[in-house]
């Protein structure tokens, strides 16, 4: 847009020009504010539609998984864990139980073999002895994450967004890591379709920031589509 | 310790203390919370004498930082512990001499922003951090680092943004604009073919740091703000005031009128009117000039008679028809105990005692007011 400021400002005294400009400015502000609101509404709409659709479509899988977990060790089917959500607020995240009932107590003994380092912010290891037989399969196929569609329906989470960390992980964060908590957490994000657990924590944060910067409904849709093969082939999940 | 610069702030006239001014992507206090997280701290104590209610409100919303934050309202800066760090500069930089005027405060904010942008430019994630989410930037716009563009910003064609430009969240920069060494607060609007250099556009008020000029009224097609100016009195309070007014019909209001220290003219007698004054004040709530629940309005003399420590706190507190002091039986600013309760109320977020005062007003027997002067 090449405008000569002198030509532009010479119009200022023309009859009705200023009023027309003011109307134009107000319209522009209104359009932009509406655009922001529509983008937010579309994101929430995608979350609502997606979560309701997923809860209905996967209901047979829910029933079979619940039955298998119950049959294996008679323990609870679901596992509710405190996670840190948007703006650092805590919420209860639902999962299918894939570990033995006293998994947290055993974890302290396993810190030395943490794949993300002994003092790593997150904990991951291959062949974790706390995982049950059913748990191994539901984790491989990411079925353990399916109850999170309920969290999405409630508005604690979104379909796409940075994974919600544990409070003890956030306690180890540096200020630059906190930026990933400024948006609603999600079930899947860029690092899940990229390499899942093989990406280290700094890489995850970088991918989360990349997502936050580029987020839009169409980008969310693309990530959801790319998540399907990542889940079906179980790449990086253990 | 967040220093009290309220008396000095005669240019921007910000509703919040200096430590709550935005520097780059967040307020100065939040930069310090970031610093505390990086140092591995677990607990932070915040002391302030300047508008404690605003600071307390902000800290209540600051849930992002995994810190235990303890807030203390103090009468004067000198009452903060000797070990407290003064939050009037960025945490990782050496603190220059303190500002001595309103313009120097703005210069200080601009200098802090420049340092912050330099630091952001050095970061390896500059590309990811310099532009926020869901922005619309025209391909013909030129971005000159360092700059920071917040979330949901629209930048039109032919714009040159930077160096040292901060565009706040939700702003619209129309086209053929130049923004350099300038700060646009959240939801600003910059009309086409407008250049801002060494300026601060804060909620529609344009401040030129170079020419030392403040422009309150600018043609809205040039610069304005899309921030919805919230009514100082919520509609719920206005309807409550109307209901109470109808209930109080028949109460004899004292004659005369007086002027408060901030220029509001109220009917009644400031010294002896007590609760009976309030009948005449209720229509002002409906008109949006006075809150229903706030500290009691004071005349200039009543304010000057206060302890200097409380004077600063009460000067910025929103005045209301009914106060927390009323609940405790103190109905006049001349009552020494009333100032104590008012200072307590002023140190809390505006609506935190509203429920208690509302319950008091609901149970108030207006028939007795005619019999008792106070």
Q: How far is CA B175 from CA A18, B5, B181, in A?
A: 17, 37, 18
| Percentage above 70 pLDDT, chain B | 95
Helices (H), B101-154: 102-122, 126-129
Rounded to the nearest angstrom, the minimum Cα separation between A141 and chain B is 31
Pairwise CA distance, residues A13 & B102, whole Å = 35
CB spacing of B134 vs A36 below 8 angstroms: yes
Can you tell me which residue has the tokens 């300047």? B50
Give the residue on B whose Cα is nearest the Cα of A39.
B134
Cis status of the peptide bond prior to A21, with omega within 30 of 0: no
HSE on the CB side for B240, CA within 13 Å? Answer: 20
Model confidence at A114: pLDDT above 60:
yes
Q: Are strands B205-208 and B199-202 parallel, antiparallel or unpaired?
A: antiparallel
In this complex, the residue of B34, B63, B132 whose CB is nearest that of residue A175 is B34
Q: State both tokens at B6.
A: 């309220």
CA B236, B242, B248, B252 torsion-angle sign: positive
| Lowest mean per-residue pLDDT among A186-190, A196-200, B10-14, B322-326 | A196-200
With 0-12 CB in 10 A as exposed, 13-18 as middle and 19+ as buried, what is A41? exposed
pLDDT at A235: 56
Pairwise CA distance, residues B119 & B89, whole Å = 14
- At B146, the pLDDT band (50, 70, 90 cuts) reads very high
pLDDT at B310: 79
A174: region left, alpha or beta (phi > 0 left; psi from -120 to 50 alpha): beta
Rounded to the nearest angstrom, the minimum Cα separation between A115 and chain B is 23
- At A88, the pLDDT band (50, 70, 90 cuts) reads very high
Pairwise CA distance, residues A189 & A237, whole Å = 14
* Complex-level ipTM: 0.82
Model confidence at B83: pLDDT above 50:
yes
pLDDT in tens, B293-316: 999 998 888 888 888 777 777 877
pLDDT in tens, A130-186: 889 999 999 888 899 999 999 999 999 999 999 999 998 999 999 999 999 999 999
| Lowest mean per-residue pLDDT among A177-191, A223-237, B123-137, B205-219 | A223-237
pLDDT in tens, B213-250: 999 888 888 888 877 555 678 888 899 888 888 887 77
The yes/no answer on whether domain B126-225 falls in CATH 1.10.150.120 is: no
Model confidence at B372: pLDDT above 60:
no
- CB < 8 Å from A in window 154-193 of B: 154, 156-158, 170, 172, 174-176, 189, 191-193
| A-interface mutation test, from B44, B67, B201, B221, most A Cβ less than 10 A away | B221
Model confidence at A103: pLDDT above 90:
no
In this complex, the residue of A22, A36, A89 whose CB is nearest that of residue B220 is A22
Q: Which residue, among B147, B151, B112, B121, has the nearest Cα to B32 in the 3D structure?
A: B112
Pairwise CA distance, residues B218 & B199, whole Å = 14
- At B95, the pLDDT band (50, 70, 90 cuts) reads confident
Tell me the mean pLDDT in the region A97-124.
Answer: 70
The secondary structure of chain A in percent helix, strand, coil, rounded to multiples of 5, reads 60, 10, 30
- At A106, the pLDDT band (50, 70, 90 cuts) reads confident
More confident: A169 or A196: A169
Tell me the mean pLDDT in the region A204-223.
Answer: 90
- At B99, the pLDDT band (50, 70, 90 cuts) reads very high
> What is the pTM for the complete model shown?
0.82
pLDDT in tens, B312-337: 778 778 889 899 998 888 888 888 88
Kindly list the residues from chain B whose CB atom is less than 8 angstroms away from the CB atom of residue A171. 66
Pairwise CA distance, residues B168 & B202, whole Å = 10
Model confidence at A14: pLDDT above 70:
no
Model confidence at A238: pLDDT above 50:
no
Model confidence at A61: pLDDT above 70:
yes
In this complex, the residue of B63, B128, B176 whose CB is nearest that of residue A87 is B63
Model confidence at A191: pLDDT above 50:
yes
pLDDT at A13: 59
CB spacing of B37 vs A173 below 8 angstroms: yes
The answer to whether B142 faces chain A, any CB pair under 8 Å, is no
CB spacing of B226 vs A175 below 8 angstroms: no
Taking each helix axis as running N to C, give the angle between helix A201-214 and helix A217-232, from 0 to 180 degrees, rounded to the nearest 10: 140
Tell me the mean pLDDT in the region A198-209.
Answer: 86
In this complex, the residue of B132, B140, B226 whose CB is nearest that of residue A33 is B226
In this complex, the residue of B64, B128, B191 whose CB is nearest that of residue A210 is B128
Tell me the mean pLDDT in the region B82-88.
Answer: 93
Pairwise CA distance, residues A75 & A130, whole Å = 14
pLDDT at A117: 61
Q: Do the Cβ atoms of B294 and B316 come closer than 8 Å?
A: no
More confident: A233 or A170: A170
The answer to whether A119 faces chain B, any CB pair under 8 Å, is no
Q: Do the Cβ atoms of B278 and B240 come closer than 8 Å?
A: no
The answer to whether B336 faces chain A, any CB pair under 8 Å, is no
| Percentage above 70 pLDDT, chain A | 82
CB spacing of B156 vs A176 below 8 angstroms: no
pLDDT at B374: 43
- At A2, the pLDDT band (50, 70, 90 cuts) reads low
CA B6, B9, B13, B18 torsion-angle sign: negative
Comma-separated ranges of CATH 2.160.10.10 domains in chain B = 126-225
Tell me the mean pLDDT in the region A11-19.
Answer: 67
CB-based contacts of B119, cutoff 8 Å, min separation 6: B92
């Amino acid at each position: 847009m090449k405008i000569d400021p002198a030509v532009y400002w010479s119009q200022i005294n023309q009859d009705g020009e200023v009023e027309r400009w003011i109307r134009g400015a107000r319209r522009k502000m209104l359009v932009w504010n509406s655009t922001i609101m529509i983008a937010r509404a579309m994101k929430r709409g995608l979350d609502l539609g997606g979560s309701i659709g997923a809860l209905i479509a996967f209901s047979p899988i829910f029933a079979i998984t619940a039955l298998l977990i119950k049959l294996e060790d008679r323990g609870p089917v679901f596992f509710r864990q405190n996670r840190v959500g948007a703006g650092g607020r805590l919420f209860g995240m639902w999962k299918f139980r894939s570990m033995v009932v006293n998994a947290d107590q055993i974890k302290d003994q396993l810190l030395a073999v943490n794949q993300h380092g002994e003092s790593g912010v997150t904990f991951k290891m291959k062949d974790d002895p706390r995982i049950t037989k059913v748990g191994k399969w539901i984790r491989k196929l990411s079925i353990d994450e399916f109850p999170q569609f309920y969290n999405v329906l409630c508005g604690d989470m979104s379909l796409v967004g940075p994974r919600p960390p544990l409070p003890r992980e956030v306690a180890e964060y540096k200020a630059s890591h906190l930026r990933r908590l400024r948006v609603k957490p999600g079930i899947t994000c860029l690092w899940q379709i990229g390499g899942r657990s093989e990406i280290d924590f700094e890489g995850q944060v970088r991918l989360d920031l990349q997502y936050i910067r580029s987020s839009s409904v169409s980008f969310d849709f693309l990530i959801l589509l790319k998540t399907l093969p990542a889940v079906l082939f179980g790449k990086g999940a253990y | 310790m967040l220093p009290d610069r309220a008396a000095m702030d005669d240019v921007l006239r910000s509703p919040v203390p200096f430590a709550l001014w935005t520097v780059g992507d967040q307020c100065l206090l939040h930069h310090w919370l970031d610093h505390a997280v990086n140092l591995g701290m677990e607990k932070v104590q915040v002391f302030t004498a300047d508008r404690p209610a605003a600071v307390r409100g902000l800290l209540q919303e600051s849930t992002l930082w995994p810190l235990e934050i303890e807030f203390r309202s103090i009468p004067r800066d000198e009452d903060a512990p000797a070990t407290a760090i003064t939050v009037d500069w960025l945490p990782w930089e050496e603190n220059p001499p303190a500002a001595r005027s309103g313009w120097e405060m703005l210069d200080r904010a601009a200098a802090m922003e420049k340092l912050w942008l330099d630091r952001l430019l050095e970061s390896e994630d500059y590309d990811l951090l310099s532009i926020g989410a869901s922005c619309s930037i025209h391909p013909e716009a030129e971005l000159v680092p360092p700059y920071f563009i917040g979330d949901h910003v629209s930048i039109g064609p032919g714009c040159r943004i930077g160096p040292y430009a901060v565009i706040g969240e939700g702003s619209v920069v129309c086209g053929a604009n130049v923004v350099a060494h300038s700060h646009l607060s959240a939801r600003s609007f910059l009309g086409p073919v407008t250049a801002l250099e060494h300026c601060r556009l804060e909620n529609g008020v344009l401040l030129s740091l170079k020419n030392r000029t403040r422009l309150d009224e600018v043609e809205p097609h040039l610069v304005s703000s899309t921030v919805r100016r919230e009514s100082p009195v919520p509609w719920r309070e206005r309807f409550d005031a109307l209901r109470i007014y109808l209930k109080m019909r028949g109460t004899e209001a004292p004659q005369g009128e007086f002027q408060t220290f901030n220029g509001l003219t109220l009917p009644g007698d400031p010294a002896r009117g007590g609760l009976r004054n309030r009948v005449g004040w209720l229509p002002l709530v409906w008109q949006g000039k006075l809150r229903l629940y706030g500290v009691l309005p004071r005349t200039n003399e009543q304010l000057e008679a206060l302890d200097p420590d409380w004077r600063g706190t009460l000067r910025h507190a929103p005045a209301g028809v009914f106060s927390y002091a009323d609940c405790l039986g103190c109905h006049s600013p001349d009552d020494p105990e009333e100032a104590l309760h008012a200072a307590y109320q002023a140190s809390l977020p505006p609506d935190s005692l509203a429920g208690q005062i509302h319950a008091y007003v609901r149970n108030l027997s207006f028939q007795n007011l005619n019999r008792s002067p106070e």
